[in-house]
Homo-oligomer: A and B are copies of this chain.
């Protein structure tokens, strides 16, 4: 099965080039000067399929390095399964996710790892890897890290919040970081000061502040900035590579920038919600249907932050300065009905999460349209760097021979309107309802197969395979 993509503009992380792309089986086998002539032969004649990308961008398929399919949380599950979630991702041009194996306090990391393989195997539309969550780190967790690295799980997420559920104390964190330093693996950190947030929540609830808005006010930027500083301090002591997830506070970016200036291996992602949405507009929203509970749609942690404080613009700046290197979604959808509703009358009981896995490429492409970032930077942030960061660049994240033929043809002349009525995620609302994008996904290939064409899913459940990852390729 041979496919030739002709006439497009290939966008890689360092620039663009007019080039054709030849795919043989599951891999890209050549990138060629446009015209599809090679030593005299017209390649369009020799392939099975020709995809015309004239006037369009040909980009490596998106890599979403932070998703939570069917994640168990607070007695319910994130509403997207591996099946629905990865299919939605495919619609949006994302051809790889790295999902989190969940190990709660008291559970065995390796058992959970096995369980997550069961959940994903045979269900995914696109390729997937795993990070491992380690909660309440024990000696057995440290041993498990060695095992998991052999399995291709080379990144471990720790939490500085959620006592009794996810939290590891600071001594546990240091031990896990020592192991990461020894093995060259990556520590991913949920950097929020849970101890302080718990106090602020109790005090707010005691004052009768129960609506979703107070989810934001009880997790002020200081709780993120402080935890970020602390994690960086431990990474500096131990030598562990550190990746801060879902950064939303500008002061956290400043901590990260300072560490990077010193040459520390400190990295960070932000998410589309922290670029576009805010405490005032979303968490504080009121609707006919839901009243002041409307804001529950956007309850996630770290929370949406105050626009008046200027965080959103600072996130874009961080993306430009490369103090933020990756854009993920932290896709963790819950429906309003039965799920978010659990927190009616108590914001602390609202399942945390927003679903965006389908919209990431579009939403960040809009940043190109708005002049916030350049076209190559779009690809770098959404595909190249996440692949490098988590050790599977070359296979993914780039249009070059030898790479998996995960390719997206993106049309800058298309237009996309986001709505719950048209999205493919298993959610009864959209956090992005009414957002307009000046561009759109045209065609999506996963390892050589066209899985989305003209908005129609053409793949098969179970196409996606597990990716055994190596160590980070982004360390200095």
Contacts and interface: CB of A to CB of B under 8 A. Distances in A.
A193 B171 CA distance: 9
A196 B174 contact: yes
B222 A476 contact: no
Interface in A5-40: 10, 12-20, 22, 24, 27-34, 38-39
Which of A28, A175, A402 counts the most chain B CB atoms within 10 A?
Answer: A402
A170 B394 CA distance: 44
Given A169-B195, A393-B14, A317 B263 contact: yes
A32 B398 CA distance: 14
Interface in A239-284: 254, 257, 260-263
A254 B220 CA distance: 24
Contacts of A458: none
A323 B476 CA distance: 13
Interface residues of A, number: 74
B2 A398 contact: no
A344 B306 CA distance: 46
Contacts of A323: 261
Interface stretch (A91-99, A228-236, A460-468): A228-236
Nearest to A169: B195
A19 to B, nearest CB: 5
A461 to B, nearest CB: 29
A384 interface: yes
Interface in A30-89: 30-34, 38-39, 41, 43, 46-47
A152 to B, nearest CB: 18
B33 A30 contact: yes
A31 B47 CA distance: 18
A467 to B, nearest CB: 16
Contact of A170 (B20, B171, B193, B229): B193
A222 B384 CA distance: 34
Contact of A230 (B29, B175, B230, B263): B230
A436 B229 CA distance: 42
B196 A400 contact: no
Interface in A288-324: 317, 320-323
A166 to B, nearest CB: 16
A233 B222 contact: yes
Contacts of A28: 33
B196 A14 contact: no
A59 to B, nearest CB: 14
A225 interface: yes
Which of A33, A195, A403 counts the most chain B CB atoms within 10 A?
Answer: A33
A14 B261 contact: no
A397 B196 CA distance: 38
Contact of A29 (B32, B374, B397): B32
A114 interface: no
Given A17-B402, A254-B261, 12 more contacts: A13-B14, A15-B394, A15-B398, A19-B400, A29-B38, A30-B31, A32-B401, A39-B43, A174-B199, A222-B233, A222-B237, A261-B323
Interface of A: 2, 10, 12-20, 22, 24, 27-34, 38-39, 41, 43, 46-47, 169-171, 174-175, 193, 195-196, 198-200, 220, 222, 225-226, 229-230, 233-234, 236-237, 254, 257, 260-263, 317, 320-323, 373-374, 377, 384, 388, 393-394, 397-398, 400-403, 473, 476
12 contacts: A13-B13, A14-B384, A17-B394, A18-B402, A29-B33, A34-B401, A171-B199, A174-B196, A225-B233, A226-B234, A261-B261, A261-B323
